Chain A
């Protein structure tokens, strides 16, 4: 039982953290690109989508280069802040966050663009500052799309394999997430374990997908400006 439970709990921990990181960054970037008139915004959009199209192993390699002990940044993280990202679950969370980020970002950007800017002007004319406009007007009108994106991101983070393996490795009980445990179970010929894990992950992902779709669709009706 614990051979199912331990990787499952670890995966949930990693996916929750990754979704929080990707959520905050994705909402911020999505709002910024939905509203900015900056000339280079198409390039910025493409760069932010990149983790979606790059092979996870390539992404993982970049992360190793950036955060590994041999890089200046990685050495600083480890020496000054005491943060180890290579071969730890935190590293797995970071890898999953980066892979999942474009999903939150894309959904948030679309949701924010659907909010009529006149409503934000109305908020400012009532005396709201930028943060109040965002938290009281823009985000409440866009939140269904944002949540739908976050659900997809969570599903993606749960299934993350390649980048996680590159950064966090495969240490049972410490960095061995469900996807990696499945791979290992199949390699070891343990079809019962692999089958159980596969069924669990499939159920979680399918339910998240249905929930995300329901959210986004209902949100569309309510987002329409009046």
Chain B
């Protein structure tokens, strides 16, 4: 996936003002937006998904322009075809697991699913090990089950890119490692590019080939694979070059 982003946005909340100006391009299937909370990671991801409209700028993914303020282009989320996994998963509490996973096919409610859509939902439920809990409601699920449901819901409509907002932040160590491995297996299996938000250096080591570091609404560094770009004199910790190296050493 080739992604070319140059976006600006101002957000006012109460008396505070946040200026975001993010520019990066990358050619990768595993990109991480890395930085402390309040860096503008989620806002950037929301603008990529089309959930928040940038004040100005341009988003081009694989040659397709999703947003261009100069040319008045703003492709709506349904035509960008992104799968979005929210930080707290944002599962619909009034729907069962199966209904949540079918969500992407249920646009024209109350139209029933077509046969091929129903088959696809069944396949995804099966491969995410959700068949046994298909009729459970999100409030009855464990953390891992919720995450699997959220990823399944995001993937079922065959998106072009999977966006994940801190997918492991709410989990403890053991579970975190397992779900990270699961996510990577899924990503490899579906061959889907992903963009992941994290503030955890361990996630970078495991899940990212390109790391875009953000701080206070600006890109402070873009690191590619285990060859991190020269560090700027940023106040924020460098994007875990060491752990990337360590990870590679472990794998070989």
The answer to whether A and B come from one shared complex is yes
- List residues of chain A with CB under 8 Å of any chain B CB: 116, 118-119, 121-129, 132, 135-137, 140-141, 222-226
Binds A, one of B60-68, B83-91, B201-209: B83-91
The 10 closest A-B pairs by CB, nearest first: A127-B78, A125-B84, A122-B90, A226-B138, A226-B93, A118-B90, A126-B104, A126-B103, A121-B51, A124-B77
Q: How many A-B residue pairs have CB under 8 A?
A: 73
B146 to chain A, nearest CB (A): 8
In the complex, A119 Cα to B157 Cα: how many Å?
Answer: 18
- Known contacts A127-B157, A129-B78, A226-B138; decide if A122 and B94 are in contact (CB<8 Å): no
Which residue in A124, A132, A223, A226 is a CB contact (below 8 Å) of B108? A132
Q: Which residue on A lies nearest to B89, using beta carbons?
A: A226
Task: Decide yes or no whether B92 CB sits under 8 A from chain A.
Answer: yes
Q: How many residues of B contact A (CB 8 A)?
A: 32
Q: Are A125 and B51 in contact (CB under 8 A)?
A: yes
B223 at the interface (CB under 8 A from A): no
Closest to A124 in B: B77
Q: If the complex has contacts A124-B51, A132-B107, are A119 and B90 also in contact, measured as CB distance less than 8 A?
A: yes
Q: Taking each of A124, A127, A141, A225, which has the highest tally of chain B beta carbons within 10 Å of its own beta carbon?
A: A127
Cβ contacts under 8 Å, B82 to chain A: 125
Q: Give 27 A-B contacts (CB < 8 Å), ordered by A residue.
A: A119-B90, A121-B84, A121-B86, A121-B90, A124-B51, A125-B49, A125-B51, A125-B82, A125-B154, A126-B103, A126-B107, A127-B81, A127-B104, A127-B157, A128-B78, A128-B107, A129-B76, A129-B78, A136-B109, A137-B92, A140-B94, A141-B93, A222-B94, A223-B93, A224-B139, A226-B91, A226-B93
CB distance from A125 to the nearest CB of B (A): 4
User: Of all chain B residues, which has the CB nearest A225?
Assistant: B93
B50 partner residues in chain A, CB cutoff 8 A = 124
Q: Does B229 contact A (CB under 8 A)?
A: no
Task: Identify the closest chain B residue to A118 (Cβ).
Answer: B90
Contact between A136 and B49, CB atoms less than 8 A apart: no
In the bound complex, what is the Cα–Cα distance between A148 and B138 (angstroms)? 25
Given contacts A121-B46, A132-B107, is CB(A126)–CB(B91) below 8 Å? no
Residue B148 at the A interface, CB < 8 A? no
What are the residues of chain B within 8 A of A129 when measuring CB–CB?
Answer: 76, 78, 107
Q: Which residues of B lie under 8 Å from residue A226 when comparing CB positions?
A: 89, 91, 93, 137-139, 146
A125 touches B77 (CB 8 A): yes
B153 at interface, CB cutoff 8 A: yes
Closest chain-A Cβ to B121's Cβ sits at a distance in Å of: 13
Given contacts A141-B93, A224-B93, contact A122 B84 (CB under 8 A): yes
Inter-chain contact B93/A222, CB cutoff 8 Å = yes
Nearest-neighbour CB distance to chain A for B96, whole angstroms, equals: 12
Complex Cα gap A224–B139 (Å) = 9
Nearest opposing residue in chain B for A121, CB measure: B51
CB closest chain-B residue, reference A117: B90
Given contacts A126-B104, A129-B78, contact A141 B90 (CB under 8 A): no
Q: Mark B92-128, 1 if CB is under 8 A from A, else 0.
A: 1110000000011011110000000000000000000
CB contacts (< 8 Å) of B83 on chain A: these are: 125
Question: How far does the Cβ of A42 sit from chain B's closest Cβ, in whole Å?
Answer: 15
B92, A122: Cβ atoms under 8 Å? yes
Cβ of B248 to closest chain A Cβ, rounded Å: 33
Q: Identify which of residues 145-199 in chain B touch chain A, using a CB-to-CB cut-off of 8 Å.
A: 146, 153-154, 157
Q: How many angstroms between the C-alpha atoms of A136 and B89 in the bound complex?
A: 18
CA distance in complex: A118, B87 (Å): 10
Which chain A residues lie closer than 8 Å to B93 at the CB level?
119, 141, 222-226
* Residues on B with beta carbons closer than 8 Å to the beta carbon of A121: 46, 51, 84, 86, 90
CA distance A116 to B88 in the complex (A): 11
Q: Check if A127 sits within 8 Å of B107, measured CB to CB.
A: yes
